[in-house]
Amino acid sequence: MNGAAGAPARSASAPVMRSLRRPPSATGVSFMNNQKQQKPTLSGQRFKTRKRDEKERFDPTQFQDCIIQGLTETGTDLEAVAKFLDASGAKLDYRRYAETLFDILVAGGMLAPGGTLADDMMRTDVCVFAAQEDLETMQAFAQVFNKLIRRYKYLEKGFEDEVKKLLLFLKGFSESERNKLAMLTGVLLANGTLNASILNSLYNENLVKEGVSAAFAVKLFKSWINEKDINAVAASLRKVSMDNRLMELFPANKQSVEHFTKYFTEAGLKELSEYVRNQQTIGARKELQKELQEQMSRGDPFKDIILYVKEEMKKNNIPEQIVIGIVWSSVMSTVEWNKKEELVAEQAIKHLKQYSPLLAAFTTQGQSELTLLLKIQEYCYDNIHFMKAFQKIVVLFYKAEVLSEEPILKWYKDAHVAKGKSVFLEQMKKFVEWLKNAEEESESEAEEGD
């Protein structure tokens, strides 16, 4: 019996009802178990059909048709082209179809191996190869590429790979197409869109052998230097270790400074020719110094060393003023110097006295003597233990006929450098006065003799 405020009495049939509940079906158990086994993922639920669907959607031809249609609508207005490409990146998969995109912008359509356009493919005239062959037009196209790559940074690598490929395809392009590509590449190198490492493709054996690489390089460097000066070009080449490889644009039998200089000077690139000549000279100087130090360490006779150095001077057109600096630094690097100032001067005099005949062989001109004096001044200043040894070295070289009166007097008067000037001029004061008096006495004796 139920009370007004009490809970209802449990029916006797309740346990029977629990026992009569139907157990879960086998299907239900399986579904629940599957739910328990699934692990959460950061990317959400994955569907097995996704990769298959992606493969089905990969269609460069359809992508090409979309780009070409858009370019046809914009026409040759490159500002409109840049805006179209900017907007299309939000709808089309540039990351996947980067090669197709750049093929179209450069050649007008997808390129087959070797650089040819397939006959059955759509083409557009809104591209580099169909544009006018002048620097101004190529500069405008460079802006299109700049804007596109700035907007979609991930295209940088794809564009670099594209240019490397295009350079390998040069033989498949017409002369006019090669010229346009060269000018465009030069501008893009100048503004930093491309790295100079792409020039590696020009060292392809077949391109070099047929003269394609050298001819392409002429147009490329002209547009590059037009945008920047030769120093900026040199810095870019140096950054990728390309500054000493330019002669490889020619076959092995023509890889000489003379041939390179003649070819590029006649093409109107005298500053590039001079740069390569200077690079070659710098390389030859380094090699000379290295060999010179080895000969000294072996104790080779001075006459053999002098003969070798003079042959290198002639072969590489190295002036004596440069050579005396190399000989001086080589001589000073062959000994372990004492760290005590009071002992190093004596050690230096003994060492340099031994090498005076070698140094004298390369101070046959007044300018060479002056160069040596400056080298001694700089060395004594840079190596503090030698500060008090300067005057003693100069006097030694004067007595050994490595140096003569006139260059010493000129150095003292106005040809010295700022490094340690006051110290060294004070050291040389008495010796210079003695030289002047000796010179005056010689003049007087000569007059009396007359």
Query: Given this model, what pLDDT does residue 25 score?
Result: 45
More confident residue, 283 or 396: 396
Query: Tens digits of per-residue pLDDT, 298-330?
Result: 999 999 999 999 999 988 888 999 999 999 999
Query: Tens digits of per-residue pLDDT, 23-52?
Result: 444 444 443 444 445 555 555 555 454 544
Going by C-alpha positions, the residue among 270, 375, 392, 389 that lies closest to residue 331 is: 375
Mean pLDDT of 232-253: 93
What percentage of the chain exceeds 70 in pLDDT? 84
Query: Tens digits of per-residue pLDDT, 49-74?
Result: 454 444 445 578 889 999 999 999 99
Residue with tokens 């140094």: 359
Query: Given this model, what pLDDT does residue 304 score?
Result: 96
Going by C-alpha positions, the residue among 66, 65, 90, 224 that lies closest to residue 148 is: 90
* Res 332 pLDDT > 60: yes
Query: Given this model, what pLDDT does residue 4 score?
Result: 41
Query: Given this model, what pLDDT does residue 450 score?
Result: 53
Going by C-alpha positions, the residue among 214, 213, 154, 162 that lies closest to residue 188 is: 162
Query: Tens digits of per-residue pLDDT, 171-222?
Result: 999 999 999 999 999 999 999 999 999 999 999 999 999 999 999 999 999 9
Dist. CA 107–CA 92, nearest whole Å: 20
More confident residue, 78 or 338: 78
* pLDDT tier, 338 (very low <50, low <70, confident <90, very high otherwise): confident
Dist. CA 243–CA 272, nearest whole Å: 11
Which two tokens mark 321?
């003023």
DSSP conformational letter for 6: S
Domain positions in the chain: 60-234, 256-317, 319-448
DSSP conformational letter for 301: -
Dist. CA 221–CA 242, nearest whole Å: 14
Query: Given this model, what pLDDT does residue 441 score?
Result: 64
* pLDDT tier, 154 (very low <50, low <70, confident <90, very high otherwise): very high
DSSP conformational letter for 412: I
Specify the 3-state DSSP secondary structure of 37: helix
Mean pLDDT of 346-362: 95
Specify the 3-state DSSP secondary structure of 106: helix
Inter-residue contact 345 to 337 (CB < 8 Å) = no
Cβ-count burial 366-382 (b if 16+ within 10 Å, e if not):
eebbbbbbbbbbebbbe
Query: Given this model, what pLDDT does residue 284 score?
Result: 87
Query: Tens digits of per-residue pLDDT, 97-153?
Result: 999 999 999 999 999 888 888 766 788 999 999 999 999 999 999 999 999 999 999
Query: Tens digits of per-residue pLDDT, 173-184?
Result: 999 999 999 999
**Across the chain, what does the average pLDDT equal?**
86
Cα distances from 369 to residues 232, 362, 363, in angstroms, run: 35, 9, 5
At residue 132, φ and ψ (nearest 5 deg) are -70, 145
**For the domain with range 319-448, which CATH number is right: 1.25.40.180, 3.90.180.10, 3.30.420.40, 3.40.1280.10?**
1.25.40.180
Query: Given this model, what pLDDT does residue 281 score?
Result: 82
Query: Tens digits of per-residue pLDDT, 377-431?
Result: 999 999 999 999 999 999 999 999 999 999 999 999 999 999 999 999 999 999 9
C-alpha torsion angle, residues 115, 116, 120, 124 (rounded to 10): 80
Residue with tokens 């359509």: 109
Going by C-alpha positions, the residue among 138, 139, 137, 159 that lies closest to residue 148 is: 159
Which residues face 111 on adjacent strands?
117
Query: Given this model, what pLDDT does residue 259 score?
Result: 94
Query: Given this model, what pLDDT does residue 315 score?
Result: 85
